[in-house]
Amino acid sequence: MRLGIEITGRCNAACLHCSSACGPTVRDRLSTGEILAVMDQASELNTGQLEFALTGGEPFLDRRRLRELIAHGTSLGAIVSCVSNGFWASSMPRALDVLAPLKTAGLQMIGISTSRFHRQYVEAVRVELAIAAASQLGIRTMLKIAITKSDRYLPPEPPIARAEAMADVVEHFAVIGHGRDPSAIDESEWITSETIPVGRCPSAAANIAEDGRYMACCSSGPASPAFAFGNIGDTPLRECARRLSASALHRQLRSHGPASFLPAIIQAGLSEKLRPAYHDVCDLCTHLLSDPQMVAVSKQQAETFAVPP
């Protein structure tokens, strides 16, 4: 079992492409005790290799808490990873000082996220130092770079190019959606495909949102209720997971993908709601499931042709 946990919405940055659920004025909504309890419940439910991906917001704003969560996950036999924007890597000694206790607690992988939107909050050289320090300590590294259409034609800044060369994994992902400011990123900057994305849902993990909602995935768009299956504040993890696996809508997403809802949506006379192009399966999915009418049609279609659990 792999479970993403947004341990905080608080962040030192307020990147334009990110949701307004993350930022400097956001307060922690899940207590450390609640997160430890959900890790325990995941361990009780788990039958294979357990994995916890600790994300935010910016998990490194409270490093004592982060270390406690990593140590607890590790004590349960889980592979524990986390994500950061690298703001703390002001020098190599400082980056090593910050990461060494987390490595001792059991941290196995760190993702460093960056983009031109991060730049007013985190200098590119800190991204390079964060990757270099993690590599030196034997922590696997992933560089996660968010891009828009015009970014594809710009060479990376030298520190980012060096970080790319050092990282174990480099992931470029497209900015989709308007982010926290609807006027900041024009739709013409979204990277879209000429054809309808026809693949299946790629979700490998459910996700606990920073307010405790149990979500079908960690895709950045799913604010819609169609992705949520309870809140770990008042519902056991086992029940949230049961609701997700009982959802005909999500079973169809996983077996046939969001494009399988399009014939029913078009037949229902909702084709004008569709965009002319989408970036990928998740872009199509989050768009369909953010509209109540398209959700209703998709649910009805999924329940009529239900794939067995």
The yes or no reply on residue 287 touching ligand SF4 (CB under 6 A) is no
Question: Using CB under 6 A as the criterion, what x/- string covers residues 139-178 for binding ligand SF4?
Answer: ----------------------------------------
Contact of 54 with 80, CB cutoff 8 Å: yes
Closest CB 87 distance from ligand SF4, rounded Å: 8
The yes or no reply on residue 11 touching ligand SF4 (CB under 6 A) is yes
DSSP letter assigned to residue 86: -
The string of DSSP codes covering 139-199 is -EEEEEEEE-TGGGGSPPPHHHHHHHHH-SEEEEEE--S-TT-TTTS-GGGS--BSS---P
Closest CB 127 distance from ligand SF4, rounded Å: 11
Start-to-end C-alpha separation, the chain: 17
Query: How far apart are alpha carbons 45 and 39 in whole angstroms?
Result: 10
Name which of 28, 18, 100, 108 is nearest 61 in CA terms: 28
Using CB under 6 A, count the residues that bind ligand SF4. 25
Q: Pick from 38, 50, 78, 85 the residue near ligand SF4 by CB under 6 A.
A: 85
Q: Is 256 exposed, middle or buried (0-12, 13-18, 19+ CB in 10 A)?
A: middle
Q: Pick from 3, 5, 7, 14 the residue near ligand SF4 by CB under 6 A.
A: 14
Polymer length of the chain = 309
Closest CB 88 distance from ligand SF4, rounded Å: 12
The yes or no reply on residue 252 touching ligand SF4 (CB under 6 A) is no
Question: Using CB under 6 A as the criterion, what x/- string covers residues 25-64 for binding ligand SF4?
Answer: -------------------------------xxx------
- Closest to ligand SF4 by CB, 212 vs 258, is 258
Task: Output the CA–CA distances (angstroms, integers) from residue 51 to 83, 108, 144, in the order listed.
Answer: 14, 10, 19
Contact of 199 with 283, CB cutoff 8 Å: no
Q: Which stretch binds ligand SF4 (CB under 6 A): 63-71, 190-198, 281-289, 299-307?
A: 281-289
The yes or no reply on residue 286 touching ligand SF4 (CB under 6 A) is yes
Q: Which stretch binds ligand SF4 (CB under 6 A): 148-156, 212-220, 264-272, 290-298?
A: 212-220
Q: Pick from 18, 125, 132, 240 the residue near ligand SF4 by CB under 6 A.
A: 18
Question: What 3-state DSSP class applies to 224?
Answer: coil
Closest CB 285 distance from ligand SF4, rounded Å: 3
Strands (E), 94-155: 109-114, 140-147
Closest CB 145 distance from ligand SF4, rounded Å: 12
Within 8 A by CB and 6+ apart from 89, the residues are 95, 98, 126, 127, 129, 130, 133
- Interface residues toward ligand SF4, by CB under 6 A: 11, 13-15, 18, 22, 56-58, 85, 113, 118, 201-203, 216-217, 219, 222, 253, 258, 281-282, 285-286
